Amino acid sequence: MPKLKPEDLERITEKVKRTMILREGTGRAKITVHMGTCGIAAGSRAIMSALIKEIEEKDIKDVILTTSSCAGLCSREPMITVEVQNQPPVKYVDLTPEKVKEIFDKHVLSGEIVKEYALAFGSERVP
């Protein structure tokens, strides 16, 4: 191991950035895969795997991928919710790994909502 120079600190920071963003919860976007029993039955595992693959292949550091339970619309699973920073969340329905790939490229990375797969903007009202 060669001795560290001050500029190496940045390199190491970059290398671990994804892990740190995950723990600090400060990504530029958050994707929630709905993984209730209904979602899993409809194939949300494949959606999750596809997203993990995208993040790994493209080496994206600042997108948080997480799960949540059934979104209440079991017939339209698999579903995901995409929240780009400072924008309302968007729910996507009837997904396939191919559709998710497209959403990842267009919405998550470029901020352009993929209207044909989207169900609605925003979340349900909570009291």
Partner 1 sequence: MAYRANLMLCTCTMCVSVGALKIKKKLEEELKKHNLEDEIQIILTGSSWLCTKGPTLIVQPDDVVYQLLKEEDIPHLVEEHFLKGRPVKSLMYIHPEALHPIEKLHEIPFYRDQRLVALWNRGIIDPDQIDEYIARDGYKALAKVLKSMTPEEVVQEIKDSGLRGRGGAGFPTGRKWEFCRKNPNTPKYLICNADEGDPGAFMDRSIIEADPHSLIEGIQIAAYAIGAEKGYVYVRLEYPLAIKRLNRAISQAREYGLLGKDIFGSGFDFDIEMFRGAGAFVCGEETSLIHSIEGRPAEPTQKPPFPVEKGLFGSPTVINNVETLANLPRIINFGAEWFASIGTEKSKGTKVFSLAGNINNAGLVEVPMGITLREMVYDIGGGIPNGKKFKAVQTGGPSGGVIPSSLLDLPIDYERLQEAGAIMGSGGMIIVDEDTCMVDLAKYFLAFTNDESCGKCTSCREGSAAMLEILTKISEGRGEEGDIEFLEELGEAIKDASQCGLGQTLSNPVLSAIKHFREEFETHIKDKKCPAGVCKALIEYSIDPEKCTGCMACVKVCPQSAITGERKKPHKIDQSECIKCGVCKDACKFDAVKVE
Residues that bind partner 1 (CB under 8 A): 1-6, 9, 12-13, 15-20, 22-25, 27, 30, 32-37, 40, 48, 52, 55-56, 64-69
70 touches 41 (CB < 8 A) = no
> Please, what is the end-to-end C-alpha distance for the chain in angstroms?
56
Give the single-character DSSP code of 69. -
Q: What is the identity of the amino acid at 13?
A: T
DSSP state letters, 28-68:
SEEEEEE-SHHHHHHTHHHHHHHHHHHHHHHT--SEEEEEE
Q: What is the nearest approach in angstroms of partner 1 to the Cβ of residue 43?
A: 14
Measured from the CB atom, is 68 or 96 closer to partner 1?
A: 68
Q: What is the nearest approach in angstroms of partner 1 to the Cβ of residue 108?
A: 14
Measured from the CB atom, is 17 or 88 closer to partner 1?
A: 17
Measured from the CB atom, is 79 or 113 closer to partner 1?
A: 79
Measured from the CB atom, is 13 or 110 closer to partner 1?
A: 13
Cis ω for the linkage preceding 78 (within 30 of 0) = yes
Q: What is the nearest approach in angstroms of partner 1 to the Cβ of residue 115?
A: 26
